[in-house]
Amino acid sequence: MATEAVFKSWNGKRAMDYRNAAGIAHDLGTAVNIVTMVFGNMGDDSATGVAMTRHGSTGEPEIEGDYLINAQGEDVVAGIRMTTDIGQMGQEIPAAFEELKQIASKLEQHYREMQDVEFTIERGKLWMLQTRDGKRTAQAAVRIAVEMAQEGLISKEEAVLRVTPEQVDFFLHPQFDPDVVSEAHERGEMVAKGLNVSPGAACGMVAFDADLAEAWAKEEQKQVIMVRPETKPDDVHGMLAAQGILTSRGGRTSHAALVARQFGKPAVVGVAALNIDMVKREMTVGDQLIQEGDEISIDGNTGEVFIGCLETMVPDIKDPWLIKLLSWADEFRKLGVWANADYPEDAQRAREYGAQGIGLCRSEHMFFETERLPLFQKMIMADLSVDQREALAGLLPFQREDFAGLFRVMDGLPVIIRLIDPPLHEFLPDLIELMQELADLKLRIRKAATLTEIDDLLQQLRRKERIRRRAMALREQNPMLGLRGVRLGIHIPDLTRMQVRAIFEAACQVTKEGITVLPKIMIPLTGHHNELKVQRDALEAEAQRVMAEQKVDIDYKFGTMIELPRAALTADEIAVHAEFFSYGTNDLTQTTYGISRDDAEAGFLIEYMEKGILPDNPFATLDKEGVAQLMQMGIEKGRQVKSDLECGICGEHGGDPQSITLCHAMGLNYVSCSPFRVPIARLAAAHAALKDGKD
């Protein structure tokens, strides 16, 4: 550090440090640069200061910094004296300030980057002591990159490459207001600093164990920061309920860090200054005492811990420089960026953020809504097919309206609707809970006082018992690998037929309103080409019927998810019956790895990452060696049969920058991700294209 400082410094002010450092490192003779020392403390025409050539928080193209008249560098940094804002320098030392601005500009021209400089003025003469690339916030990084390109300092490609997808991610998380943070610092409320392992800001009441954290959060709707010396798998429920996580031990791959990142919770770990007393339910930092229930704030971006609750804010995704930067990114990227959206409001947001289509509308999400779930359950409970059809007929208008809303928002852009995917028992109450309720009901009947009460309870009992029997019959050992997706469509043909009718009735209706509808019907969980053929034939016939009834021609396509290894392995056979492929990498990762995500992400996967067995969570970052290999095979085999086969991805990996690079490399047509991640994906796709062949 000291050595580096000397090589960067422009005079001999740090030669002393250098000799010390050299003396510690080894005892060989070393050459020494000796230069004249300059002094900022030679009177009122002397000064010393630090400056950024542009604003490090906002990116504004103005010099930002502090200085002190008649002082040495230590005085500015040490905080002993109150520094002066550099804006004042124009009045106090105008000539030097003018020269400083010229040099700042010259340095930027030379380094083609925003600079962080140190300077001293000795009796009116300006000396530059040091310059280096300046640190900046995500917002500043975006604005600086864009404005430097506009100034002609750098190219648009360089501007795009200078902003990382993680910096765009910053715009999506709550952050502490920078002014509030400054004030907290001034008031001495920043009490400790640890490792910034999971981004975002959070504040809440300190809870020292997972059960309490969960109870406060769930039962009392309180905001909680869970604080532990370190976390274990038993703590996960508390971590999920908390706003943020703080530990006194552990590093970047500790359990707490991994779980927090997994679930997007802000976290600061390894804060050695914390002394947690689990018996007294309190902790001390220096001489500051914090008791359970007291409020604290943590900043996962900086690793800072504050006393009290700091105000948070969500940065503006409509930042004009970000919009400009992303529009440049769009010029360079080869991958389309689509969004996963189930409702019109999601689709609206996706479109605003730049999505070029809906890559995944999960049609069954609509069945979970309050007014529809009873109808859907009626369909499941029906013993007779006539009752089943009646329940489905009741659902049709709802589905039609859902799809119509989506089509209106996505006017002119493609909308991929995936037919029902989950197994039916997901729509019934949980069996274990149901059994608990039945046991309670039986006890209540035994204790009941009046006949009316008994009668009422008996009726409840019978109803629940009927549901229990059905849930028991539908119970599966491994629902992930069970009766779902296309299997369900083949098993209950009326169900997916109703969905396709709803899609086409909506499409016809909206077309008549003058809107351009491009529906793409996606069949999930295909494993064998015959499944796709049988289901598509049945559904396309229904589509034709609706179009004939409505006398409207819709420009539609039928395709399939590729989310089972067998589908990728036999993609040439499957492509015969599909006009597009969409990789469902969540399920494809589950089956390729043989890992149940629900069970593993709070379980052994964390252990694997802690122990270094896996470098990444394969559900967050596409597994290059395994899953991506299958995807590549699927694309190649599919395009052998249909050279223009459209291939995309709709798993969560579609919004992960590292995975997007892989998607670009394997020649996908588009990635589809959550609307919030669309801007990140646009930038990451541009990076992938710009770096292609250069690594």
Residue 469, token pair as written in the block:
């029997």
Shortest Å distance, C-beta 467 to a copy of itself: 15
**What are the angstrom distances between the C-alpha of 340 and each of 132, 211, 371, 469, 654?**
42, 34, 23, 35, 10
508 is catalytic: no
Q: Closest separation between CB of residue 633 and a copy of itself, Å?
A: 9
Tell whether residue 429 is a contact of a copy of itself (CB under 8 A): no
Tell me 109's DSSP state: H
Least Cα distance to 171 among 333, 325, 375, 329 occurs for 325
Contact stretch for a copy of itself (CB under 8 A) within 79-87, 365-373, 459-467, 626-634: 626-634
Of 468 and 682, which CB lies nearer to a copy of itself in the complex structure? 468
Q: Looking at beta carbons only, is 63 or 630 nearer to a copy of itself? A: 630
Task: Yes or no: say if 342 and 362 are a contact pair by the CB < 8 Å rule.
Answer: yes
Handedness of CA 484, 490, 493, 497 (dihedral sign): positive
Residues whose CB falls within 8 Å of the CB of residue 152, separated by 6 or more in sequence, listed in order: none
Helices (H), 338-430: 344-352, 373-381, 385-409
Question: Residue 603 burial (CB < 10 Å; 0-12/13-18/19+)?
Answer: middle
Report how far residue 483's alpha carbon sits from residue 120's, in angstroms, rounded to the nearest whole number.
Answer: 75
Contact 638, 574 (CB under 8 A): yes
98 near a copy of itself, judged by CB under 8 A = no
User: Which of 110, 187, 491, 691: binder of a copy of itself (CB under 8 A)?
Assistant: 491
Listed ranges 183-191, 400-408, 541-549, 585-593: which one lies at the site for a copy of itself (CB under 8 A): 585-593
CA distances in angstroms from 492 to 56, 262, 385, 425, listed in the order given: 60, 37, 10, 14
Least distance from a copy of itself to the Cβ atom of residue 390, Å: 22
Our answer to whether residue 647 is catalytic in this structure is no
Tell me how far CA of residue 95 lies from CA of 45, 99, 109, in angstroms.
Answer: 11, 6, 21
How near is the Cβ of 197 to a copy of itself at its closest, in Å? Answer: 23
CB 309 within 8 A of CB 299: no
Touching a copy of itself, residues 594-613 (CB under 8 A) = 594-596, 598-600, 603-604, 607-608, 611-613
Give yes or no for residue 565 binding a copy of itself (CB under 8 A): yes
Contact call for residue 37 and a copy of itself (CB under 8 A):
no
The answer to whether residue 436 forms part of the interface with a copy of itself (CB under 8 A) is yes
Q: Does residue 336 contact residue 689 with C-beta atoms inside 8 Å?
A: no
Q: Does 614 bind a copy of itself (CB under 8 A)?
A: yes
Residue 480 as a binder of a copy of itself (CB under 8 A): the answer is yes
- Give yes or no for residue 439 binding a copy of itself (CB under 8 A): yes
Q: Given the rule CB under 8 A, which of 37-45, 124-132, 435-443, 544-552 is the region that contacts a copy of itself?
A: 435-443
Task: Candidates 25-33, 83-91, 309-317, 487-495: pick the segment binding a copy of itself (CB under 8 A).
Answer: 487-495
Which range of residues in 179-187, 440-448, 457-465, 537-545 is near a copy of itself by CB under 8 A?
440-448
- For position 479 contacting a copy of itself by CB under 8 A, the verdict is yes
534 binds a copy of itself (CB under 8 A): yes
Residue 378 in the binding site for a copy of itself (CB under 8 A) = no
Rounded to whole angstroms, the Cα distance separating 428 from 499 reads: 20
State the Cα–Cα distance between residues 695 and 684, nearest whole angstrom: 15
| 525 binds a copy of itself per the rule CB under 8 A | yes
Among 2, 15, 285, 435, binds a copy of itself (CB under 8 A): 435
The catalytic residue among 361, 650, 663, 673 is 650
Looking at the Cβ atoms of 446 and 694, the one nearer to a copy of itself is 446
Piece of 206-214, 394-402, 500-508, 528-536 that binds a copy of itself (CB under 8 A) = 528-536
CB of 259 to a copy of itself, least distance (A): 17
Whose Cβ is closer to a copy of itself: residue 121's or residue 428's? 428
Nearer to a copy of itself, 64 or 623 (CB): 623
φ/ψ bin of 416: left (φ > 0), alpha (ψ from -120 to 50), beta (otherwise):
beta
Distances (CA, A) of 283 to 113, 117, 232, 297, 304: 44, 40, 20, 15, 16
Between 453 and 476, whose beta carbon lies closer to a copy of itself?
476
From residue 148, give the alpha-carbon distance in Å to each of 61, 460, 688, 691.
9, 70, 22, 21
Q: How many residues bind a copy of itself (CB under 8 A)?
A: 59
Using CA atoms of 25, 26, 30, 34 in order, give the dihedral in degrees to the nearest 10.
30
User: Strand 295-299 vs strand 201-207: parallel, antiparallel, or unpaired?
Assistant: antiparallel
Single residue of 111, 263, 343, 593 touching a copy of itself by CB under 8 A: 593
All residues at 6 or more sequence positions from 42 whose CB lies less than 8 Å from its CB, including other chains: 70, 122, 123
How far lies 45's CA from each of 38, 77, 92, 93, 623, in Å? 13, 20, 9, 8, 62
Burial profile 323-346: b = 16 or more Cβ within 10 angstroms, e = fewer: ebbbebbbebbebbbbbbbbbbeb
**Contacts with a copy of itself, 630-669, as mask; x by CB under 8 A:** x---------------------------------------
Which of these segments, 39-47, 52-60, 431-439, 646-654, binds a copy of itself (CB under 8 A)? 431-439
Q: Can you tell me the distance from the alpha carbon of 561 to that of 485, in angstroms, rounded to the nearest whole number?
A: 10
Whose Cβ is closer to a copy of itself: residue 306's or residue 427's? 427
Shortest CB 229 distance to a copy of itself, Å: 19
* Residue 432: partners with Cβ closer than 8 Å, 6 or more residues away: none
Minimum CB–partner distance for residue 573 and a copy of itself (Å): 7
Residues 486 and 499: their CA atoms lie apart, in Å, by 13
Q: Considering beta carbons, is residue 29 or 594 the nearer one to a copy of itself? A: 594
**C-beta of 193 vs 464, nearer to a copy of itself:** 464
- Near a copy of itself by CB under 8 A, which window of 237-245, 289-297, 380-388, 471-479? 471-479
* Single-letter amino acid, residue 583: Y
Residues labelled as active-site residues = 255, 650
- Contact positions toward a copy of itself, by CB under 8 A? 431-432, 435-436, 438-439, 442-443, 446, 472, 476-483, 487, 490-491, 525, 527-528, 530-531, 534, 563-566, 569-570, 573, 587, 590-596, 598-600, 603-604, 607-608, 611-614, 623, 625-627, 629-630
